[in-house]
Amino acid sequence: MNCAFFVSGRGSNFEAVLKHIKNGDLQIKIPLVVSSSETAAAAETAKSENIEVFYTNKENRQKILDILLARKIDLIVLAGYLKKIPDEIISAFKNKIINIHPSLLPAFGGKGMFGEFVHKAVIERGVKISGLTIHLVDEKYDNGAILFQKAVEVKSADTPSDLAKRILSEEHDSLWRVIKAFSQNRVIINENKAEIVDE
């Protein structure tokens, strides 16, 4: 399975997936990383692994689809990608784009809900359980069918960054498993619901 990662920043989820490819847990190829930022650490990681990086900007957005098709990409993984995915990519890769989000969707998702904004909102609302969601991507932010969720306790003394750290560590242990399920055809999608079956 050829997987493309879309990134905008740090890329710790991308690194965690690379680790699981290297240790043999996950058998996929990553021929392409698409980065919305010239300075993203994730793009540097990709280059150091000799993975092709395509930097997106307003002018070249139409080219992304051509490159994805040319590199024979089977699955697109949004791992901290902050830009909207053009509709033509969503149509061409229906049910083949996943995103990881640091809350239990549909709570604390949508436009503007990324990074520390999510954890700040969770703590301000007094929510006791947060977590992560890995879901399919459709035309609306954080809206597609849910593939996987994991709960993480919100402690009363948590700052947004404390909570972010605990959730991120669970993200690192979750994303590769969902990618693996795709690579083994263990994902069943039924309209707006999705399910992963055991190995």
- Residue at token pair 């080219």: 63
52-55/75-78 β-pairing: unpaired
Distance CA 111, CA 116 (A): 14
Candidates 4, 43, 79, 178; binder of ligand GRF (CB under 6 A) is: 79
20 binds ligand GRF (CB under 6 A): no
**124 DSSP β-pair partners:** none
Residue 12 found at the interface with ligand GRF (CB under 6 A): yes
| Among 3, 4, 5, 11, interactor with ligand GRF by CB under 6 A | 11
CA 184/CA 192 separation, integer angstroms: 21
Neighbours of 168 (CB within 10 A): 17
Q: Site for ligand GRF (CB under 6 A): which residue of 4, 68, 77, 100?
A: 100
Residue nearest to ligand GRF as judged by C-beta position: 80
- Work out which of 65, 92, 168, 189 binds ligand GRF, going by CB under 6 A: 168
Which residue of 32, 36, 76, 80 would you call a contact of ligand GRF, by CB under 6 A?
80
Q: How far is the CB of 161 from ligand GRF (least distance, A)?
A: 12
Smaller CB separation from ligand GRF, 96 or 101: 101
**Smallest separation (angstroms) from ligand GRF to the CB of 12:** 3
Bond preceding residue 31 cis, omega within 30 of 0: no
Measure Cα distances from 158 to 38, 80, 94, 162 in Å. Answer: 33, 22, 38, 6
Comparing CB distances to ligand GRF, the nearer of 66 and 173 is: 173
Instruction: Return the residue of 5, 6, 9, 109 that touches ligand GRF, per CB under 6 A.
Output: 9
Report DSSP letters for 9-38, one per residue: S--HHHHHHHHHHHTTS---EEEEEEES-T
Q: Judged by CB under 6 A, how many residues of this single chain contact ligand GRF?
A: 14
Q: Which residues are catalytic?
A: 101
- Alpha-carbon gap, residue 26 to 20, rounded angstroms: 6
- Minimum CB–partner distance for residue 79 and ligand GRF (Å): 5
Structure tokens at 67: 């490159």
Residues within the interface to ligand GRF (CB under 6 A): 9-14, 42, 79-80, 100-102, 168, 171
